[in-house]
Structures are given as structure tokens and as C-alpha cells.
Amino acid sequence: MKQYLEKLINHENLTVPEMKEATRCCFTETITETEIAAFLTALRTKGETPDEVAGIVEVIRSQSAFSTSHMPNVMDNCGTGGDKSYSFNISTTAAFVIAGAGIPVAKHGNRSISSKTGSADVLEHLGVSLAFSKEQIEEMLHENEIAFLFAPHVHAALKPFTKVRKDLGLPTIFNAIGPLTNPISLDTQLIGVYRRDMLQMMAESLHKLGRRRAVVVNGAGSMDEASLAGKNHLIILEEGKLTPFTFLPEEVGLPTYSNEKIRGGDAKANAKITRDVLSGKTGPYLDTVLLNAGLGLFASGTAKSIEAGIDMARESIISGAAKERLQRLIEFSKNIPSEVI
């Protein structure tokens, strides 16, 4: 580890193999918490590169007992968090709409960190288990087109990092890589980032991690979701090519709302919003989900445009398919022990 720390302190970037070796060191019994803290701090001070992100993500995924071989057409839609918008659980609700449109979603998430209610908090309140086994997750993806992967449950080996991050109390590379560490081998992905300067780095990282297609979005008002408040900035990854673009709500046939209109609350309040949206209740919450689910369907390649994706998302809700995906997940959870992490 010492040689890699010296390189980072000298503002030298690590290659993918070097980053993998340095990360593997953090999982050994001989590593100290001080060394892990120095590693994360030096990376943050220098500024992480796509090679370094790809290297640490590949090792983290390999350490998970839930890591899978390639599963065709499975995607995830997840933001990095950190936007301080206190919005309702947009990507979690949109995941059921995407699944209702026929695209398998391996939804990777956690409890609240920078928001009032994380995906795990709202799903737990709805009656979804946080303790699915690997076999159960694969079964749900095949039969229900959606499964939830609770990050602490599927990444139990990360406990040494968790303690150090808590003690540091500072942003680290982990604040960016959460959406990338899904142990399910994904074909496509939609990722939201709250900082526009992260768009390129995240898109390049997705390419290095082998995504066939992906979209990275920074929403209006610095949201880590697509927003109806104004201009959204995106990069699409397709066949190794990165293409930046922007769009306004009216350009995809949706109204404009301020981000204050989509604020959420505690797990109980956000669970009600999710149920209302999946039942088709009109308003800013529904339109925001239509936008993000439509963007997810576009990211997957199923929809040829964002507008076409929004139409598919609307049909997923109107037909009852999106709501049915949630209900099946709840029914599947009834015989599974509750997660206490």
C-alpha cells in the first residue's frame, strides 16, 4: 500500500491494475484503519480518475457473495445522492415503472444518507424485505422483472471501509461509486449525479466497466435525477462513444415544475407518494417519475427517444403493470426475515 500512497500524495494517477491491488490490500487482515483512511483521503485530494473508479468498483463487486455473471438486459437506475433536494424517492418509484414496461431492474440502494428517506427506508415501509438471498434476487428478476439489493446486505465485506468513512466524516470516492457497485452484472444503466463536473468521469467509468449503453444525468437545480425545473445535462454512452446533450421539459412533452414541488418526507409519506404515482395520481410526482422512467427506458435502448420512453412509462402505469411489480415484491417478501442492518 505504501507505494500507492506515495504516488497519490505526489498527485500521480493509479492504473486500473494498481487501483485493484491497492483496494485488495484494504481487505487484508494486515491493513490498518489509518492506511485505509490515508488511501481514501489521498484519492480525494488528488481527484479520482475513471481508471481508479473502475479499479475499486471491480474489486468491490468481486468481494460480494451476490456477484453474478452476465445477466442479459438487466439494468439499474440509481443516483449518487448528495443533492440535498429532499425529493421523494424518484428512482425507486421509477424502477417499478421501468420493470412494468418489461425491462428487468436490479435496484441497488441504501438507507438515507443525504436525503430524508433512502430507497431501503421507503421499500421497507411498503413491506419489501431487505434480506433477499442471491437466488431469490435472480428469481425475482426472472419472474417479476425487479429485485431490490440492499447495499449493506450485498456488500458485507465493506465493513472496514464503512467504519473509516464514518470516522473521517468527509466525502470520499465512495460518495460517487455507490451506483456502480451493483453486484449484478448489468448491461445498461441510468445514473444521476448532483455535480455536473462528474458527468464525464462517471460516463467514462461506465465504459471501462463494460456497460453496453448508459445515460448519466445531472438534473436542473443540481439534482441527481432528471428534473422538470429546467435544463437537464446528460451524457449517453453507446458503443463506446460518449455524447453530451441537454433537454428542457417542454422538449419531451412534459410541464415545468420547481424542485420544491417534488419534496418528500419520511418513509411513511414517501411510501404514500410511491403508491399514489403507481396508481396514476396526476401531478408533479407522477410527471417526474414519467420523465425518469422514460429516461431509464431510453438508457436501456428499449425506447428510441426520451419521448418514446415517457409514452412507455405512462402505459406501464395506466395498465397497472408497474403497481403489480411492487405488489409481487411485497408478496415475495412475506416469508423472508426482516433485515436489521
- 109 marked as part of a ligand binding site: yes
- 218 marked as part of a ligand binding site: no
The pLDDT tens digits for 158-213 are 988 888 988 888 888 988 898 999 999 999 999 999 999 999 999 999 999 999 99
Burial of 335 (0-12, 13-18, 19+ CB in 10 A): exposed
- 112 marked as part of a ligand binding site: yes
- 213 marked as part of a ligand binding site: no
Provide the pLDDT for residue 162: 84
In 163-283 the beta strands, taken as DSSP E runs, fall at: 188-192, 213-218, 232-238, 241-247
- 263 marked as part of a ligand binding site: no
Mean pLDDT across the stretch 153-161?
90
- 268 marked as part of a ligand binding site: no
- 129 marked as part of a ligand binding site: no
What phi and psi values does residue 83 have, to the nearest 5 degrees? -85, -10
Provide the pLDDT for residue 234: 98
- 87 marked as part of a ligand binding site: yes
Element holding 174 (H helix, E strand): helix 174-177
- 67 marked as part of a ligand binding site: no
pTM score, whole prediction: 0.94
Provide the pLDDT for residue 340: 45
Put the strands of the sheet holding 241-247 in their side by side order: 146-150, 105-109, 75-79, 188-192, 213-218, 232-238, 241-247
Query: Which of the four pLDDT bands, split at 50, 70 and 90, describes residue 68?
Result: confident
- 114 marked as part of a ligand binding site: yes
Element holding 66 (H helix, E strand): none
Query: Which of the four pLDDT bands, split at 50, 70 and 90, describes residue 341?
Result: very low
- 224 marked as part of a ligand binding site: yes
**Under 8 Å between Cβ of 307 and 253:** yes
- 85 marked as part of a ligand binding site: no
Strands 75-79 and 232-238: unpaired
> How far is Cα 111 from Cα 30, in angstroms, rounded to an integer?
30
- 29 marked as part of a ligand binding site: no
Asked whether residue 339 carries a pLDDT value surpassing 70, the answer given is no
Asked whether residue 308 carries a pLDDT value surpassing 90, the answer given is yes
Burial of 197 (0-12, 13-18, 19+ CB in 10 A): exposed
Provide the pLDDT for residue 115: 60
- 103 marked as part of a ligand binding site: no
Query: Which of the four pLDDT bands, split at 50, 70 and 90, describes residue 303?
Result: very high
Q: Which amino acid is at 281?
A: K
Mean pLDDT across the stretch 266-279?
97
